[in-house]
Amino acid sequence: MSELRDIARAILADGRARVVIGWEDARRGARPVFATDPDDADKLIFDARCVHNLVTYLNPRRDNVAELGKIALVVKGCDAKAVAGLLREAQLGRDDVVLIGVRCGGVLEASDLGQPLALTPENVAPRCHECDVREPNLVDYLVGDPQPDPPRPAMTIDERIAALESRPLEERWAFWTEQFSKCVRCYACRQVCPLCICERCVAEKTRPQWIEPSSHARGNMSWNITRALHLAGRCVGCGECERFCPVGIPLSLMNRKLQQIVAERYGYVVSDDPEKPAPIGDYRLDDRQEFIK
């Protein structure tokens, strides 16, 4: 922790960045903090409650954040992948942000559990099981001790997907239509996603109105499927969308399924190397086309 605070303090003091965005202790857990003064660096923490993906603040459309000046961002491995996504899509240059990487051993499923808890199969975020970047790459600084692997959750996301896929088509349809009938179109999933960066989301386009804005299952189906497709090859699996969803739709199942699809078909795993091209927008002559007559 002191390493993190020292670096943040130094960066703010000598002007390498105007604000350090990281996590701080809050009454009920951890929460994002914007440290603009070197003294504020003492607020910075990193523990298993730091589930938030702070890369969402790098969205160029967040004018109020951009106004603060050059950002130094504290990132876990999954967060760094999101930064790579933004670099890949020309939303910022590598020199526009300072990245302070933290070694991570997994986070809790929710951040508002009071004091930092030891991770158990019941409270660990299921997505941490798939993580391949406990030590983030792409960063300017790397702090923290090497962490042990997180405990295996009771059921991994892949297992839950497999369970769903073992059910017949009609049951899957019933499952998803029921889930999507809950959606109230608050768009929290979109707002918190670091890769949902469009100035004008297609869901807000009215001429023509591809996605019905009403929150019935039909419009919700269109919205959620479209968002999932738009994230194919881009989603970093940070799980924030599901964490934020006020009605508890298991979005991680859908987004992880898309990760599985691009991995299986195109050998693509979302990477924190911005040079690696995204799978959609790329093609190979021998791409599988078994579903095409």
Given 69, 165, 213, 273, the residue binding other proteins (CB under 8 A) = 165
Q: How far is the CB of 64 from other proteins (least distance, A)?
A: 16
162 near other proteins (CB under 8 A): no
Mutual angle of helices 251-266 and 217-230, in 10-degree steps: 40
Given 225, 250, 263, 274, the residue binding other proteins (CB under 8 A) = 225
How many angstroms separate the CA atoms of 287 and 195, rounded?
26
Residue 60 vs 114, nearer CB to other proteins: 60
Residues 6+ apart with CB under 8 A from 139: 75, 80, 99, 100, 101
Closest of 104, 150, 105, 116 to residue 29, by C-alpha:
116
Vertex 242: Cα angle to 229 and 190 (nearest 5): 55
Residue 106 corresponds to which amino acid? G
67 near other proteins (CB under 8 A): no
- Binding track over 107-146 against other proteins, x by CB under 8 A: ----------------------------------------
How many angstroms separate the CA atoms of 97 and 83, rounded?
9
DSSP 209: -
Q: How far is the CB of 71 from other proteins (least distance, A)?
A: 17
Write phi, then psi, for 23 (nearest 5 degrees): -115, 150
Residue 69 vs 121, nearer CB to other proteins: 69
Given 222, 250, 263, 276, the residue binding other proteins (CB under 8 A) = 222
**23-62 residues near other proteins, rule: CB under 8 A:** 60-61
How many angstroms separate the CA atoms of 128 and 151, rounded?
9
Given 65, 142, 228, 263, the residue binding other proteins (CB under 8 A) = 228
Token couple for 209: 């109105």
164 near other proteins (CB under 8 A): yes
Q: How far is the CB of 86 from other proteins (least distance, A)?
A: 9
Token couple for 203: 């869901």
- What residue has token string 């009920």? 28
Nearest-10 Cα torsion for 99, 104, 109, 111? -60
10 near other proteins (CB under 8 A): no
Residue 140 vs 212, nearer CB to other proteins: 212
Task: Please report, as ranges, the residues that interact with other proteins according to CB under 8 A.
Answer: 60-61, 89-91, 164-165, 169-177, 181, 197-202, 205, 207-212, 214, 216-219, 221-222, 225-226, 228-230, 232, 254, 257-258, 261-262, 265-266, 277, 279-283, 285, 287-289, 291-293
